Structures are given as C-alpha cells and as structure tokens.
C-alpha cells in the first residue's frame, strides 16, 4: 500500500505542491483539496509540473472544492480524477497512510 498525499494550498502562493510532488514516490496518490484544487486547472503556470507528475503518480481533485470555486470538470488537466467526500475516504482506506502537505 502506498501513501495518499493531500495538498490544500494554492500552487501560486505556497510551495506545498512542489514539495509534495518532489517527495511523492511512484504509484502514490495525490489528492488536491481546498485551495489546492487550483493546481488541477488547465493552462496555468503550474500545469507543466502537474502534467509531468501524472506520469508517475495518480492525481485526484475533490469535486465539491472545485465546484465551490466556480470551475467545471472540463477545465481540469486530462488524467486528473474527480472524487467526492466518499471517494476521499475510499482513497484514504486504500492507502497505508495519509500525509498532509499544509
């Protein structure tokens, strides 16, 4: 079982996502929540970093946080999965541990 990483900070304001992706092992899962969801959007200055990470880790975004901020799933970088709160629990249950990048 691998690690589920959660990132809740905007990639444009903090280094949380950079550090998370730097240390996430291949096969790990990364769940973007709260302001972290901005990293999942297309055509941003963080998109290249995220697309590169998708080659080795699975990336998910929490749907309710995305919807709250006014973005539809069509704005996401292809390959990123959308989960609801139940999906969040499923990911956590399927992982050895949850590591938060605050």
Binding site for another protein (CB under 8 A): 8-10, 12-13, 34-35, 38, 41-45, 47, 63-65, 67-72, 75
Smallest separation, CB 64 to another protein (Å) = 3
Find residue 98's DSSP bridge partners.
4
Task: Lay out the sheet containing 81-83: strands in order across.
Answer: 81-83, 58-62, 29-32, 3-7, 97-101
Q: Least distance in Å: CB of 24 to another protein?
A: 21
Pick 2 or 14: Cβ nearer another protein: 14
Backbone angles phi, psi at 6, to 5 degrees: -115, 140
d(CA 19, CA 13): 13
Name the residue nearer to another protein (CB basis): 3 or 51: 51
Pick between residue 26 and residue 74 the one whose CB is nearest to another protein. Answer: 74
């Amino acid at each position: 079982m691998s690690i589920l990483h959660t990132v809740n900070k905007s990639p444009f304001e903090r280094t949380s996502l950079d550090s998370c992706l730097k240390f996430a092992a291949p096969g790990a899962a990364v769940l973007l929540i709260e302001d972290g969801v901005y990293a999942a959007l297309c055509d941003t200055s963080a998109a290249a970093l995220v697309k590169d990470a998708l080659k080795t880790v699975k990336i998910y975004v929490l749907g309710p946080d995305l919807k709250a901020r006014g973005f539809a799933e069509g704005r996401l970088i292809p390959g990123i999965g959308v989960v609801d709160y139940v999906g969040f629990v499923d990911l956590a249950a399927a992982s050895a541990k949850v590591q938060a990048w605050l």
